[in-house]
């Protein structure tokens, strides 16, 4: 590489620091690699270093990077028509909505409202629920993330909500089960479930069940620790919602499109919500896209009533083409089944890590979606850095990057959610790097 080209490339890092505002961090002194391209499970920076993408970006790039069929579909669409207003029809929009309906958990299918991301989808979903029920309260859990803008940020149950406060009215919060760090002082998952449901029932009683439009929940908690609910909890939530006429909305922004080994977590856990919000995996994150899938029996209300939402980029053709090609690739490569196979392989490797390193408190997950909870004391479960405290595990993540592994997480939980296309050799490579970094943490 010539000296002048090297200088230009070096400048990207400086330009970034000078002009780009990076989410959720203080800006000064960060020097992340400048990613220039990706291929399969790897990211490459401007210096030619490669990083195994063990989190699929932000739990999103389910197909791996630069999948040729999706790249070709986006290019083809850009050459044909890049934008068609939502009020007009579009071939790829119709195809993608149909494809989503085909894999959705409802026997009579669904209709889809497209957004540009997950947070917006959650805001639209609760707006639809309020319209459909004529009620205004919404139940949302602590330790949840539903997005960043004021509406979705208010639904979020952790400290990223705080800058939005007082936020939108009507959001009522509850605790969901978390067996490893029980908010209900239990050590038994069944007891945890019983108490969590009794707590939710109590909240509904005090808020007035007939005033609550919707309950929004991540069927597997994502950014807040990859928490898999104990067996039966989601089914009991479904039953409670049905009894009170509350619409159940699954936020499947992370879990959707194969992450748990089924099209949606709804199918994985055998619980059918009234609506599903999605984003990320729908295009494998190649083009920004989110949406709300509303079961047909509810969506038909809007045949004779105005749909109370709209966005310039709703159903953007580039995103639609990416989505159609992505869903086709999931089908052709049988990647939802592959996520179930990955679950077995990941669990074996995590069990080995847990045996080898005291710093691993718990490794939990489902499908190709695992969280590694790091502790300073296994017996007391003291977190390695405290949840919502001032410290992070950025040093650990930087250490992994230096060894060629990209991983992200929040406080003391690292999220392992590789592309569903990852090979066994690549898994082994990633776990070897993780093993060495955990040994250094243990020391
Ligand atoms: C479960 C969940 N819901 C909503 C969102 C927000 O999605 P977006 O960042 O596309 O607005 C996220 C983002 O990570 C998420 O994990």
Domain holding 416: CATH number?
3.90.1150.10
223 Cβ below 6 A of ligand 1: yes
Q: Give CA–CA dist 335/63, Å, rounded.
A: 8
Percent of the chain surpassing pLDDT 90: 95
Give, using CA atoms, the residue closest to atom 1 of ligand 1. 253
Pocket test for ligand 1, best of 119, 158, 160, 415 (most atoms within 8 A of CB): 119
Pocket test for ligand 1, best of 125, 252, 280 (most atoms within 8 A of CB): 280
Residue 134, exposed/middle/buried by CB under 10 A (0-12, 13-18, 19+)? exposed
- Specify if 258 maps to a domain: yes
Model-wide pTM > 0.95: yes
Q: Do 57 and 77 have their domain in common?
A: no
Interhelix angle for 233-244 vs 189-207, to 10°? Answer: 20
- Specify if 253 maps to a domain: yes
Q: What is the pLDDT of residue 164?
A: 93
Confidence of residue 11 (pLDDT cuts 50, 70, 90): confident
Write out pLDDT tens, residues 144-164. 999 999 999 999 999 999 999
Last residue of a domain, one of 309, 332, 355: 332
Work out the mean pLDDT of the chain and round it to a whole number: 96
Write out pLDDT tens, residues 41-89. 999 999 999 999 999 999 999 999 999 999 999 999 999 999 999 999 9
Q: Do 350 and 425 have their domain in common?
A: yes
Write out pLDDT tens, residues 349-390. 999 999 999 999 999 999 999 999 999 999 999 999 999 999
Q: What is the pLDDT of residue 294?
A: 98
Q: What is the pLDDT of residue 57?
A: 98
Q: What is the pLDDT of residue 6?
A: 53
Q: Do 327 and 222 have their domain in common?
A: yes
Q: Measured at the alpha carbon of residue 151, what is the angle toward residues 143 and 102, in degrees to the nearest 5?
A: 80
Q: Do 174 and 275 have their domain in common?
A: yes
- Specify if 21 maps to a domain: no
Q: Measured at the alpha carbon of residue 178, what is the angle toward residues 176 and 182, in degrees to the nearest 5?
A: 105
Q: What are the angstrom distances between the C-alpha of 290 and each of 92, 126, 221, 277?
A: 15, 15, 18, 7
- Specify if 176 maps to a domain: yes
Q: What is the pLDDT of residue 30?
A: 87
Pocket test for ligand 1, best of 223, 253, 273, 410 (most atoms within 8 A of CB): 253
- Specify if 5 maps to a domain: no
Q: Give CA–CA dist 308/112, Å, rounded.
A: 14
Q: Do 427 and 311 have their domain in common?
A: no
Q: Do 46 and 167 have their domain in common?
A: no
Q: What is the pLDDT of residue 1?
A: 46
Q: Do 82 and 207 have their domain in common?
A: yes
- Specify if 412 maps to a domain: yes
- Separation of CA 122 and ligand 1 centre (Å): 9
Enclosing domain of residue 213: 69-332
Cβ atoms of 372 and 363 closer than 8 Å? yes
Number of structural domains (the chain) is 2
Q: Do 267 and 391 have their domain in common?
A: no
- By mean pLDDT, which of 23-37, 47-61, 94-108 is the weakest? 23-37
Q: Do 129 and 46 have their domain in common?
A: no
145 Cβ below 6 A of ligand 1: yes
Taking residues 283-287, report their average pLDDT: 98
- By mean pLDDT, which of 23-32, 95-104, 179-188, 213-222 is the weakest? 23-32
Confidence of residue 9 (pLDDT cuts 50, 70, 90): low
In the DSSP assignment, the letter for residue 21 is P
Q: Do 263 and 273 have their domain in common?
A: yes
- Specify if 26 maps to a domain: no
- Specify if 10 maps to a domain: no
pLDDT of 8 strictly over 60: no
146 Cβ below 6 A of ligand 1: yes
Domain holding 109: CATH number?
3.40.640.10
Give, using CA atoms, the residue closest to atom 11 of ligand 1. 119
Q: Do 152 and 284 have their domain in common?
A: yes
- Separation of CA 1 and ligand 1 centre (Å): 39
Top pLDDT among 6 and 71 is at: 71
Q: What is the pLDDT of residue 7?
A: 55
259 Cβ below 6 A of ligand 1: no
Write out pLDDT tens, residues 181-229. 999 999 999 999 999 999 999 999 999 999 999 999 999 999 999 999 9
Last residue of a domain, one of 332, 349, 365: 332
Confidence of residue 136 (pLDDT cuts 50, 70, 90): very high
Last residue of a domain, one of 332, 364, 398: 332
The CB density around residue 15, as the number of other CB atoms within 10 Å, is: 12
Q: Do 59 and 166 have their domain in common?
A: no
pLDDT of 15 strictly over 80: yes
Q: Give CA–CA dist 422/430, Å, rounded.
A: 10
Confidence of residue 310 (pLDDT cuts 50, 70, 90): very high
- Nearest alpha-carbon partner for 212 in 220, 221, 200, 195: 200
pLDDT of 423 strictly over 90: yes
Taking residues 95-115, report their average pLDDT: 98
Taking residues 230-252, report their average pLDDT: 98
- Nearest alpha-carbon partner for 376 in 411, 345, 327: 411
Q: What is the pLDDT of residue 443?
A: 74
Taking residues 278-289, report their average pLDDT: 98
């Amino acid at each position: 590489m010539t000296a002048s080209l090297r200088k230009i490339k070096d400048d990207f890092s400086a330009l970034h620091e000078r002009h780009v505002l990076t989410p959720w961090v203080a800006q000064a002194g960060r020097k992340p690699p400048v990613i220039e391209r990706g291929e399969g499970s790897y990211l490459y920076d401007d210096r030619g270093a490669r990083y195994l993408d063990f989190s699929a970006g932000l739990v999103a790039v389910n197909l791996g990077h630069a999948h040729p069929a999706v790249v070709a579909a986006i290019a083809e669409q850009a050459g044909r028509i890049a934008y068609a207003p939502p009020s007009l029809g579009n071939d790829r929009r119709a195809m993608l909505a149909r494809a989503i309906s085909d894999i959705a958990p409802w026997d009579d299918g669904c209709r889809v409202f497209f957004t540009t991301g997950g947070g917006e989808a959650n805001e639209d979903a609760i707006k639809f629920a309020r319209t459909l029920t004529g009620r205004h309260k919404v139940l949302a859990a602590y330790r949840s993330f539903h997005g960043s803008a004021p509406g979705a940020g208010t639904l979020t149950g952790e400290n990223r909500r705080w800058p939005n406060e007082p936020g939108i009215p009507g959001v009522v919060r509850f605790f969901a089960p978390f067996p490893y760090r029980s908010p209900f002082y239990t050590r038994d998952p069944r007891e945890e479930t019983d108490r969590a449901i009794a707590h939710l029932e109590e909240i509904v009683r005090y808020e007035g069940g007939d005033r609550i439009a919707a309950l929004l929940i991540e069927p597997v908690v994502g950014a807040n620790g990859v928490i898999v609910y104990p067996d039966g909890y989601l089914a009991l939530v479904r039953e409670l919602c049905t009894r009170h006429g509350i619409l159940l909305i699954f936020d499947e922004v992370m879990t959707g499109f194969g992450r748990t080994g089924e099209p949606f977590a709804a199918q994985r856990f055998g619980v059918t919500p009234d609506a599903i919000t999605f984003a990320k995996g729908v295009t494998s994150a190649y083009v920004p896209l989110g949406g709300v899938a509303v079961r047909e029996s509810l969506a038909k209300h809007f045949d004779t009533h105005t749909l109370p939402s709209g966005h310039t980029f709703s159903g953007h053709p580039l995103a639609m083409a990416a989505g159609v090609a992505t869903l086709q690739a999931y089908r052709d490569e049988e990647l939802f089944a592959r996520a179930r196979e990955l679950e077995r392989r990941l669990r074996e490797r995590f069990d080995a890590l847990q045996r080898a390193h005291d710093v691993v408190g718990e490794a939990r997950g489902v499908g190709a979606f695992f969280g590694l909870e790091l502790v300073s004391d296994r017996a007391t479960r003291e977190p390695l850095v405290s949840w919502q405290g001032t410290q992070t595990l950025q040093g650990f993540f930087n250490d992994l990057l230096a060894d060629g592994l990209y991983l992200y997480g929040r406080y003391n939980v690292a999220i392992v959610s590789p592309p569903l296309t990852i090979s066994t050799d690549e898994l082994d490579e990633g776990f070897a790097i993780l093993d060495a970094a955990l040994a250094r943490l243990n020391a």
